[in-house]
């Protein structure tokens, strides 16, 4: 008997600020008909435009995955919700958003995953088709040593290797052999950045909604008292504490390799843009949203 497509059993809603816009938005995931895929609907705009979640609609990847159909009609930071839908094998869903960005919540996929898992999924009267990797597929960005490769495999599995110009994150690895482990091994891993990047990102009109509750901030150099005072103004109500090089305010990591696991989370989310579950072994070196979504586009072109 062939496998069937799935959607969620009932609607589920989320509310919170966007990581980059800082604006409070409400997002509701609804069940959807078979063969409609994952779609986002901007209910705050005239004519409530719908944006299909596939690589052809990716318009920006600078600090998250953004899909859109014009400069005014877009939805950003979709990757954590998409990863949760992927892990729960949700093929069809309509996601209504009343603003330009999906809420960041606690900076991980766990709030999305837990609520979606709670409502459950239902089987639909439509056959499920896989994208089966039959030969090696490669995407590279040689100037940044980025490489994503897909190999034939009977199931979906993924390995990630990250390396940054920092002694703190020189080499980290993460892997998943079965998406059933996503909820316990990957979902809780938060987004992260370096302390030295914060002012630069703010100057670029990003992370307006970032705080120490929804991101891990790594401090990999000595910081002056003047800089601490200046940065404290960016996090009202939070006392900035840097005792030594490490994690800002000595935040406890869920896993020693949490950054690598978060990059794996992002990869899982971005690959759900393909529109079909993948049977293949994905090996990603220094992945990011740009590479992930371009690779998803390559894979999508192989669908006949």
Question: Would you call 182 helix, strand, or coil by DSSP?
Answer: helix
How many CB atoms lie under 10 A from the CB of residue 243? 8
How many CB atoms lie under 10 A from the CB of residue 299? 24
Could you tell me the two tokens for 126?
């439509």
CA neighbours closer than 13 Å in the CB half-sphere of residue 91 = 20
289 is catalytic: yes
| Beta-carbon contacts of residue 230 (< 8 Å; ≥ 6 apart) | none
Candidates 20, 80, 262, 289; catalytic one? 289
Crossing angle of helices 79-87 and 258-271, in 10° steps, is 80
DSSP state of 53: -
Contact 31, 93 (CB under 8 A): yes
Which are the catalytic amino acids?
Answer: 289
């Amino acid at each position: 008997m062939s496998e069937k497509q799935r959607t969620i059993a009932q609607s589920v809603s989320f509310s919170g600020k966007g990581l980059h816009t800082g604006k409070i938005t409400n997002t509701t995931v609804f069940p959807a008909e078979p063969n409609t895929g994952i779609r986002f609907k901007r209910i705050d705009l005239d004519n409530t435009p719908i944006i299909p979640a596939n690589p052809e609609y990716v318009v920006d990847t600078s600090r998250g995955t953004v899909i859109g159909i014009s400069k005014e009609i877009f939805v950003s930071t979709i990757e954590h919700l998409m990863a949760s839908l992927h892990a729960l094998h949700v093929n069809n869903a309509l996601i209504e958003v009343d603003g330009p960005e999906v809420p960041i919540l606690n900076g991980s996929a766990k709030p999305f995953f837990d609520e979606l898992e709670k409502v459950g999924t239902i089987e639909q009267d439509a056959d499920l088709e896989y994208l089966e990797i039959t030969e090696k597929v490669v995407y590279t960005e040689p100037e940044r040593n980025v490489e994503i490769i897909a190999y034939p495999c009977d199931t979906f599995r993924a390995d990630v290797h990250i390396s940054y110009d920092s002694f703190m994150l020189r080499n980290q690895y993460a892997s998943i052999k079965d998406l059933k482990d996503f909820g316990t091994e990957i979902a809780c891993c938060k987004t992260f950045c370096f302390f030295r990047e914060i002012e630069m990102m703010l100057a670029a009109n990003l992370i307006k909604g970032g705080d120490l509750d929804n991101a891990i901030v790594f401090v990999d150099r000595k910081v002056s008292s003047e800089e601490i005072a200046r940065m404290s103004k960016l996090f009202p109500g939070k006392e900035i504490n840097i005792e030594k090089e490490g994690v800002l305010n000595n935040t406890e990591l869920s896993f020693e390799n949490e950054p690598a696991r978060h990059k794996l989370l992002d990869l899982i989310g971005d690959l759900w843009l393909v529109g079909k579950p993948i049977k293949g072994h994905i090996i990603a070196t220094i992945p990011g949203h740009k590479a992930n979504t371009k690779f998803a586009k390559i894979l999508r072109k192989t669908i006949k």
